[in-house]
Homo-oligomer: A and B are copies of this chain.
Amino acid sequence: MKTNAGRFFEDYRVGETITHAVPRTLSGGERAFYHALYPARGALYSSDEFARACGLPAAPLDDLIAFHTVFGKTVPDISLNAVANLGYAEGRWLAPVYPGDTLRSVSEVIGLRENSNGRSGVVWVRTRGLNQRGEAVLEYVRWVMVRKRRDTPAPAPVVPALAPAVAAADLVVPAGLDFTGYDFPLAGEGHRWGDYAVGETIDHVDGVTIEEAEHMLATRLWQNTAKVHFDATFREDGKRLIYGGHVISLARALSFNGLANAQMIVALNGGAHANPCFAGDTLRAWSEVLDKAETAAPGVGAIRLRLVAVRQGAAPFALKDAAGKYLPEVLLDFDYWALMPR
Q: Which residues of A contact B (CB under 8 A)?
A: 2-5, 19, 21-25, 27-33, 35-39, 41-43, 46-50, 59, 76, 99, 102, 104, 132, 185-189, 191, 195-196, 202-209, 211-214, 216-218, 220-221, 223, 225, 227, 230-234, 240, 257-260, 282, 312
User: What's the number of copies of this chain in the assembled complex?
Assistant: 3
Across chains A and B, which 8 residue pairs bring their CB atoms closest together, nearest first?
A: A29-B32, A27-B28, A21-B188, A213-B213, A23-B47, A207-B231, A209-B232, A29-B29
**CA A48 – CA B27 in complex, angstroms?**
11
**CA A205 – CA B31 in complex, angstroms?**
31
26 A-B contact pairs sorted by A residue (CB < 8 Å):
A2-B191, A2-B202, A3-B203, A4-B189, A4-B257, A5-B205, A21-B186, A21-B187, A22-B41, A22-B43, A23-B47, A27-B32, A27-B99, A28-B30, A29-B31, A32-B33, A33-B36, A36-B217, A46-B223, A47-B102, A48-B102, A206-B225, A209-B230, A212-B213, A214-B216, A232-B282
**CA A209 – CA B36 in complex, angstroms?**
20
Query: Which B residues lie within 8 Å of A260 (CB)?
Result: 21
A282 to chain B, nearest CB (A): 5
Query: Which B residues lie within 8 Å of A102 (CB)?
Result: 47-49
A48 in complex: contacting residue of B19, B25, B29, B214, CB < 8 Å: B25
**CA A207 – CA B233 in complex, angstroms?**
8
